[in-house]
Amino acid sequence: MFQGVHNGTLTEAEIQTLLLTNAVTNSCSWAVAFHSFFALQAGLDPADVQAIRERRVPREPRCAALSTYARDLIEKRGHVGEAAVQTLLSAGFEPYQALEVLAVSAASTITNYALNIAEPPLEPTFQKHAWRPT
């Protein structure tokens, strides 16, 4: 059972890949800066972080599959199809993780929407990672 963003089976790097992808897909500037910082802290390749920020697919295969699946979940409103799930599984994820990614994406999307409404100022720690939707 899903118990929260950081209480599942995904690694911190995978969680940050997912949360950064969701922030970009939801055009949430504050969350993009925040998750860019933490994605790098979690050890994601800077080039993969930049790719996600630019709405491109990361190079690392597992990261690419997760990012693509997360983006498709939001953009297709859950209608991703069997091929998308199979691509995720082919990258080494387990079937139950497809639903875990959905649960994390749902929580993340709500947070992104709240941040888009509230428009909080970006803390100095995250200024270096400021982002604006294109």
pLDDT over threshold 50, residue 1: no
pLDDT over threshold 70, residue 6: no
Q: Residue 11: which of 80, 111, 107, 100 has the closest Cα?
A: 100
Q: Residues 34-93: pLDDT tens digits? A: 999 999 999 999 999 999 999 999 999 999 999 999 999 999 999 999 999 999 999 999
* Distance, CA of 90 to CA of 94 (rounded, Å): 9
Share of the chain above pLDDT 90, in %: 91
Six-digit token string for 114: 């709240």
Structural contact between residues 74 and 113, judged by C-beta atoms closer than 8 angstroms: no
Across the range 15-24, mean pLDDT stands at 98
How confident is the model at residue 5, as a pLDDT? 58
**Helix or strand or coil: residue 48?**
helix
Tokens 């800066």 correspond to what residue?
33
- Superfamily name and number for 12-120: AhpD-like (1.20.1290.10)
Delimit the domains of the chain by residue range: 12-120
Helix, strand, coil % in the chain, rounded to nearest 5: 65, 0, 35
Q: Using alpha carbons, list the distances in angstroms from residue 61 to 33, 40, 41, 64.
A: 23, 17, 20, 5
Q: Residues 86-133: pLDDT tens digits? A: 999 999 999 999 999 999 999 999 999 999 999 999 999 999 999 999
Tokens 């100095």 correspond to what residue?
124
* Distance, CA of 87 to CA of 92 (rounded, Å): 9
